């Protein structure tokens, strides 16, 4: 695969090759080289690669190619279903899918929150080939018997780890069950960490191929990372204002037009920071969860069009933001886990360009900073702004007490609690099964599903590890 330097060698239809050329792509990336061939052979896939290295094309191209190779005789419901955690990511994937299918008769649609049911009525009532959806809104249609999942041949889960983190486990389980006649399942993310993700993958994937792309220097770009120590919240705000206002303070090597995303933990923190920056005459837009769709679209459009060069965002709202030429990511609040840090800084240095990631660290952030440094296998540089030099030394790591019980009584209590949690999880699964509106016999097989088609649950995932 390493010798492949063009999309022509991937056996794609000419209509796709023409669309790829119009989009400006000249050669496949590492994750595309790894994922496209087995996906076209209908293998189940677990794939990870850093943000901005072409995962969207990696799952869209083989899916669309299958629809071209096996056209259906009459219209119907979606054959390809793509689940994403946020509306923004769903919209962006939809835009790419529409570009790829512009020379075909295939129809692409979205099912997302923040859009009226009337606007989406055509997607669930008319002919459709590819649907990109968020789990919550899709489940509303499924529960109302308005969306037929029996036609789905391929289920693609993009950013599956984040959907689980956002609490969509029940919805994802239901959707996986509703699409049980599918021929293929693919799971993509920048990271494939966590027991929850592995447990979920074990339930929905069938002998998956694990793909981890080793990204080339051409694709990965370079993210220059450093931190500033902050003595207090007031000091941290001063540091941020200096970084946003002062060209010399934020640009490391050369003068460029800044395009900056500032990350905060919660919606409350976001609202407070936006108000503080307004008092300092620093213009910015913001993106947060449960925001009116029209305002979200407007904020993102102004950021993309360089009308506003600073965007304040929470992790959930910023998931899937694909904006060209983001020069800086500033972690005003450190994330709660190291893998989210990787997702955040992946907003910059996309397509082989350079970028900068700056974190503002208070004393209570030291433990998570240590986890980030272990996770990324590097020590982040400490820098200072002369006029805002911290007065205190860097805090030490906290000494955590052992979680192991110290006596027999403690061990017995721990065992009892584990058993109760296990029983609670099982009861939840049983209750969920009882609540399902459809049963397997009532639904029946779709026309294209063969009589012998049956998937068995995996006892254990033992995928093949492939790296370029």
Pairing of β 130-133 and β 209-212: unpaired
Return the CATH superfamily for domain 221-383: P-loop containing nucleotide triphosphate hydrolases (3.40.50.300)
Answer whether residue 402 shows pLDDT above 60: no
Q: Which tokens belong to 434?
A: 């009882």
Q: How far apart are CA 55 and CA 263, in angstroms?
A: 23
Picking from 51, 29, 146, the residue whose alpha carbon sits closest to that of residue 131 is: 146
pLDDT surpassing 60 at residue 464 = no
Which of 51-55, 74-78, 330-334, 413-417 is predicted least confidently? 413-417
Q: How confident is the model at residue 348 (pLDDT cuts 50, 70, 90)?
A: confident
Cβ neighbours of residue 225 closer than 8 Å, sequence gap 6 or more? 345, 356, 357, 358, 359, 378, 380, 381
Lowest model confidence (mean pLDDT) among 23-32, 185-194, 251-260: 251-260
Average pLDDT over residues 330-339: 92
The CA distance from 43 to 35, in Å, is 10
Q: Is-same-fold flag (7-216+441-449+457-466; 221-383)?
A: yes
DSSP readout, 220-254? H-EEEEEEEE-SSHHHHHHHHHHHHH-HHHH-SSS
pLDDT at position 390 over 80: yes
CATH annotation of 7-216+441-449+457-466: 3.40.50.300
pLDDT one-digit tens code per residue, 108-125? 999 998 788 878 877 777
Contact status, residue 356 vs residue 329, Cβ threshold 8 Å = yes
Which comes out higher in pLDDT, residue 442 or 62? 62
The mean of the pLDDT values for the chain is 84
Domain ranges of the chain: 7-216+441-449+457-466, 221-383
The pTM score is: 0.73
The per-residue pLDDT for 461 is 53
Q: Which pLDDT band, with edges at 50, 70 and 90, does 174 fall under?
A: very high
Average pLDDT over residues 423-449: 60
Using alpha carbons, list the distances in angstroms from residue 313 to 221, 310, 316, 407. 23, 10, 8, 46
Per-residue pLDDT, 185? 97
């Amino acid at each position: 695969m390493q010798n492949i330097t063009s999309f022509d060698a991937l056996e794609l239809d000419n209509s796709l090759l023409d669309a790829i050329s119009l989009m400006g792509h000249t050669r496949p990336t590492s994750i595309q080289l790894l994922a496209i061939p087995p996906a076209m052979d209908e293998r189940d896939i677990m794939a990870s690669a850093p943000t901005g290295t072409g995962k969207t094309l990696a799952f869209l191209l083989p899916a669309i190619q299958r629809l071209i190779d096996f056209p259906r005789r009459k219209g119907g419901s979606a054959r390809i279903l793509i689940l994403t955690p946020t509306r923004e990511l769903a919209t962006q994937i939809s835009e790419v899918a529409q570009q790829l299918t512009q020379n075909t008769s295939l129809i692409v649609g979205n099912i997302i929150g923040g859009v009226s049911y009337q606007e989406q009525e055509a997607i669930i009532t008319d002919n459709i080939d590819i649907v990109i959806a968020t789990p919550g809104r899709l489940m509303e249609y499924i529960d109302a018997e308005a969306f037929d999942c029996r036609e789905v041949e391929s289920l693609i889960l993009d950013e599956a780890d984040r959907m689980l983190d956002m609490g969509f486990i029940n919805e994802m389980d239901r959707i996986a069950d509703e699409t049980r006649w599918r021929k293929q399942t693919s799971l993509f993310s920048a990271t494939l960490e966590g027991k929850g993700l592995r447990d979920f993958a074990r339930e929905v994937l069938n002998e998956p191929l694990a793909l981890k792309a080793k990204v080339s220097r051409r694709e990965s770009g370079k993210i220059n990372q450093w931190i500033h120590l902050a003595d207090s919240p007031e000091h941290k705000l001063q540091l941020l204002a200096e970084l946003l206002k002062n060209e010399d303070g934020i640009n490391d090597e050369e003068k460029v037009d800044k395009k900056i995303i500032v990350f905060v933990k919660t919606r409350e923190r976001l609202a407070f920071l936006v108000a503080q920056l307004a008092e300092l005459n620093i213009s910015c837009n913001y993106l947060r969860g449960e925001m009116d769709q029209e305002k979200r679209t407007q904020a993102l459009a102004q950021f993309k069009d360089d009308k506003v060069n600073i965007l304040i965002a929470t992790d959930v709202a910023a998931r899937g933001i694909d904006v060209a030429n983001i020069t800086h990511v500033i972690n005003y609040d450190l994330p709660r886990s190291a893998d989210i840090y990787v997702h955040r800084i992946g907003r910059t240095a996309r397509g082989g360009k350079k970028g900068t990631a700056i974190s503002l660290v208070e004393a209570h952030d030291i433990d998570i900073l240590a986890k980030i440094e272990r996770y990324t296998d590097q020590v982040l540089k400490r820098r200072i702004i002369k006029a805002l030099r911290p007065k205190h030394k860097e805090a030490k790591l906290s000494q955590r007490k052992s979680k192991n019980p110290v006596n027999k009584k403690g061990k017995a209590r721990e065992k009892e609690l584990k058993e109760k949690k296990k029983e609670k999880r099982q009861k939840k699964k049983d209750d969920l099964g009882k609540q399902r509106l459809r049963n397997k016999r009532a639904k029946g097989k779709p026309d294209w599903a063969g009589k012998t088609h049956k998937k068995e649950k995996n006892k254990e995932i033992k995928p093949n590890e492939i790296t370029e």
